Amino acid sequence: MTLHNLTILGATGTIGVNTLDVVARHPDRFNIVALSGQNQIDKLVEQCRQFRPKYAVVLTPEKAQELKAALAGLAIEVLYGVEALETVASLPEVDTVMAAIVGAAGMRPALAAARAGKRVLLANKETLVMAGQFFMDAVKAGGATLLPIDSEHNAVFQSMPEPYTGNLHVHGVRRILLTASGGPFRTRAVETLADVTPEEAVAHPNWVMGRKISVDSATMMNKGLEVIEARWLFNALPEQIDVVVHPQSIIHSMVEYQDGSVLAQLSNPDMRIPIAHALAYPERVATGVNWLDLPKLGQLTFESPDTRRFPCLGLAYDALRAGGSSAAVLNAANEVAVEAFLDHRIAYLTIPATLSKVLDRLGGRPASSLDDLSAIDTEARALAIETITAR
């Protein structure tokens, strides 16, 4: 049994909290070296007191001072800023990094972990959406091990042959099937979607998630981003990745083989399962999740996604096929639009309308460096704000 030394980036978010829940169940397997948080300082303080990391990282000097005061007397070094996140992601004593910072802010520390050859447990989808080729190149160059945390990609990983070498054809794989719950509006009349409120959009029927990702699930942009992720994680073409709506969220994704076999990973919808799988891989550990009672479930159902109801899914496929920086443009515009929606500044259907306009204007541009991507990301955000303001 190997003792893993962990850095958890985004410890106060949903993924971070669930990661620490699994860690607490196996203190003989996991040691916390560093934790990071952004705004929930009280929660970070509580986590630091329980797990006693060597480092705690926040983004600003003001938050650092607040955290230092709260942790006075404990042997925990408080750091701040993006460079500090990169530092704790690449510490020599750390072998495993949970990359769970939401949004574009998580890209640089995730890249730092990959370059340093860590076991990277990737929960930050924007890293692959924005910089898929750069990140996969960093994984290869650094000799890192990449383990997906999204329940869908983790399910695909578990359903792939081992070791998977990155060639679907060689392994006899025909296609990847990503399942989607359909979110809170799967059966709502399409003509009423204009009236959707932020409170309705964040009320996911199956999963407990943050507000931004809950809105992405409602629009199915989350699934679109996962399609883009799957392209990079498994070296798959857009036409080799399909989405199927599965309202029960029991089958988390499937792999279809050339012989007609379909392998699936099933479990109750609880993020501790993919987290524990990646943390202990290739071993298996207890998670505290309820066992799956198949007779009690009764039935599992499937349907094709409604493109009228979920236009964001189509936009994600468009961005993937367009290549270049299109996925980064889409992601940036989406972050701006979702924030505006959650702040009650735009209507629900303005989200896909905004993304479509920004993608039409900026999609397809080449990006030869991370600096290029950063500049395009900034331009896409500015255009999204301009588009929203002009409405």
Residue 283 has pLDDT above 80, yes or no: yes
Domain boundary at 307, 331, 354, which? 307
Q: Supply the CATH number for residue 143's domain.
A: 3.40.50.720
Give the DSSP H or E segment for 34. strand 30-36
Q: Is 288 part of any domain?
A: no
pTM: 0.92
Q: Is 328 part of any domain?
A: yes
What is the CB neighbour count within 10 angstroms for residue 74?
15
- Do both 144 and 160 map to the same domain? no
Q: Is 297 part of any domain?
A: yes
- Do both 17 and 117 map to the same domain? yes
Average pLDDT (161-171) is 93
- Residues 10-58 have pLDDT tens digits of 999 999 999 999 999 999 999 999 999 988 999 999 999 999 999 999 9
- Residues 317-335 have pLDDT tens digits of 999 999 999 999 999 999 9
- Do both 224 and 84 map to the same domain? no
Enclosing domain of residue 217:
150-268+293-307
The residue with tokens 């797990």 is: 51
- Residues 370-388 have pLDDT tens digits of 889 989 999 999 999 999 9
- Do both 109 and 167 map to the same domain? no
- Do both 19 and 90 map to the same domain? yes
Q: Is 244 part of any domain?
A: yes
- Do both 15 and 121 map to the same domain? yes
Domain boundary at 149, 179, 196, which? 149
370-389 helix and 350-362 helix, angle to the nearest 10 degrees: 130
Q: How far apart are CA 5 and CA 34, in angstroms?
A: 9
- Do both 141 and 28 map to the same domain? yes
Using CA atoms of 379, 227, 124, 262 in order, give the dihedral in degrees to the nearest 10.
180
Residue 1 has pLDDT above 90, yes or no: no
Q: Is 250 part of any domain?
A: yes
- Do both 247 and 180 map to the same domain? yes
- Do both 195 and 77 map to the same domain? no
Q: Is 346 helix (H, G, I), strand (E, B) or coil?
A: coil
Q: Is 283 part of any domain?
A: no
Residue count of the chain: 391
Paired sense of beta strands 4-9 and 96-99, if any: parallel
Instruction: Return the minimum-mean-pLDDT range out of 124-133, 153-162, 305-314.
Output: 124-133
Q: Supply the CATH number for residue 368's domain.
A: 1.10.1740.10
Domain boundary at 149, 182, 208, which? 149
Percent of the chain exceeding pLDDT 90 equals 88
pLDDT for res 126 = 81
Query: pLDDT band for position 203 (50/70/90)?
Result: confident
Q: Is 258 helix (H, G, I), strand (E, B) or coil?
A: coil
300 Cβ neighbours under 8 A, 6+ residues apart: 246, 248, 250, 251
Q: How far apart are CA 43 and CA 35, in angstroms?
A: 11
Q: Is 8 part of any domain?
A: yes
Both tokens assigned to 293: 């009672």
- Do both 115 and 160 map to the same domain? no
Q: Which amino acid is at 253?
A: S
The residue with tokens 């972050």 is: 335
Q: Could you give the number of structural domains in the chain?
A: 3
